[in-house]
Every structure is written in structure tokens, then in C-alpha cells.
A and B are shown apart, each in its own frame.
Chain A
Amino acid sequence: MDKNKQDKLKDIVEMYCVSKDMILYCEEIDEQQKSNPQHINELKMGLDHLMRVFAVDLKIKEGDDEYMEENLNSCFNHIYRAGYDALDWVSITLRANIYREIKGFSNEGIATVIPKYYEEIKPEIEDINKKIAELRYEKDAGYKNIEGFMRYAEKVNTLRKYHADILKKKPALVEYDKKLNSEKGWEFTKQFIIITIIGGIIVGITVFLILKFITG
């Protein structure tokens, strides 16, 4: 195998490592812990092309340089596609997971425990989603768009960091809201007592005045 083909093979192995890492992470964060056979199918298609290359290289099959190059490129494209699809799934899962983690907590609690949430994190998540949507529509796969993959992976990594950060701060968020609710409960009781007393006084005075008016 010449140097050019060896380089392509090296790219395939490296891309496979990246794609596999993303596929494993995708399964790990999935809410239902489910696998995506579609990603595995892309790897399988890549294997098919790789076997054609080795069949020629090991003289099991006849084929020229062009045939080998074509199959090396196709192999890379399938491995890339597997990683890209996993990346895509990871991005929408992480976004949903981040929002699910803090859903139901008070705005005050979120702003206090995660001070950057409203100013920085939320706008950035929305911005990342917009950019990811744009990247998703870049149809080119493989060597032509390796830069697109890298940019996408960087965005997803930012989401990954936000998710980890929010998970770390969640106990404090729970604690804050518990305290807030108990304070609010006491505040409500206090207001109820004051209103009841004032109401009682007003009713008492009214009854007194009515009785005074009737009895002359």
C-alpha cells in the first residue's frame, strides 16, 4: 500500500476512534439508555468498503489504485457519517437534558445558584442550537467537511460542560428552592394572620356601629 493510501487508512482509524467515542457517549446520555442501530449501520457500511481495499491489497481480489482510493474515501465517509449522526443525537439530547434538569425550579433559585444561566448559558445554548441547525444542513460528508464536524463537536462539547456544571449545582438548587418555599410558606402564614386580625377588627367595628345605630 502506498503512502497516500496509508495516510487515508490512518485518517479512517482516527475518525473511527472519534465516531466510536461519540456513539458511546450518545448511549450514555440517552434518557432511555437506548442504542442507535443507524450509527452502527454506518460503521458496518464502512467495514464493507474497507474489506474491498484489503482484498485488493492482499491480492484476494483484483483491483486498481482508483478502486482502492474510491473505497478508502467511501469507508471514511461512512465512519464520518456514523460520528456525525451520533453528534447530532448528542446535541439534541444534551440540550433537552440541560433544560429538563432545571425545569420546575424557581427563576430566583436558578439566577442565584447558576448566576450565569440567564445572562450567558441560556443565550449560548440557543445560539449553539441555531448554529447546529445550520451545520446540520451542510450536507457534505467526509473529507470535504471535516472542519464542519470539528466545529459541531466543539459546540457539543460546550453543551457537555454546561450539562456537567448544572448537574454539579443541582443539589444547591434543590436546597435553595426548599428554603425559598419554606420562607414563602411562613410569609403566607404571616400575611394570613395579619389579614385575619385586620378583618376581625373591621367586622367587630362594623358590628359595633350597626348595633349602636339600631339600639340608638
Chain B
Amino acid sequence: MDRNLNTGEYPAGSILKEYKERVGFFHENVLDESPPEFKVTERTKEFAGKCRGSVRMRAGLFYTEKEMGAERKKLLSVKAP
């Protein structure tokens, strides 16, 4: 039997089968759902320290959307000598 997200039938040993049996809560159409909207704000920085992965991200060294706009303006305003 093929593993199948459309029918909800999974062969023994598949991660999806185990997850569905043990956790129960599973959205069968998960792959075709749009990922959550991604907004980077000052609040994102508050939680960034708890994330694993990039050191810069953990240290809050990333641009929020607002900061990116301001930085772009600043960079474009540098005049040639």
C-alpha cells in the first residue's frame, strides 16, 4: 500500500502513520496549505534568542521589515565624493 496524504492511509512504519495514531491531530492537506504569513517585527527579536540555528538570528542581528526600509533609504542617500 502506498503512503497517501489524500486518503489518510499510511503503511506501518511511516512517520505519518505513527504521528496520526499517537498524536491524532493531523491536517491531511498540510502540504497544499499556504505557509503562515511571515512578518519580521521588533517582537520577532524578543523571541529570536530562544531559537536554535543562526548565531546572528539568535543575537537579534537581523532586519525587521521597518528597519529594512529605513536602511535602504540610508544606503541610497550616500553621496559620491
B65 to chain A, nearest CB (A): 7
Q: Mark A78-90, 1 if CB is under 8 A from B, else 0.
A: 0000000000000
Q: How many interface residues does chain B have, given as a range?
A: 20 to 34
Give the docked Cα–Cα distance between A103 and B81 (Å).
6
Chain A residues 14-47 with CB under 8 Å of chain B are 27, 32-38, 41, 44-45
Of the candidates A36, A105, A107, the one whose C-beta lies within 8 Å of that of B63 is A36
Interface residue A51 (Cβ < 8 Å from any Cβ of B): yes
In angstroms, Cα B50 to Cα A175, docked, is: 47
Contact-residue size bin, chain A (C-beta under 8 Å from the other chain): 35 or more
A37 in contact with B80 given A51-B31, A59-B2, A61-B31 (CB within 8 Å)? no
Whole-angstrom distance between the alpha carbons of A35 and B80 in the complex?
26
Closest beta carbon of chain A to B34's beta carbon, Å? 8
Which B residues are in CB contact (< 8 Å) with A32? 61
Q: Give the chain A neighbours of B32 by CB distance below 8 A.
A: 52
Q: Which residues of B are in contact with A by a Cβ distance under 8 Å?
A: 2-7, 16, 31-32, 35, 38, 40, 44, 54, 56-57, 61-63, 65, 68, 72, 74-76, 78-81
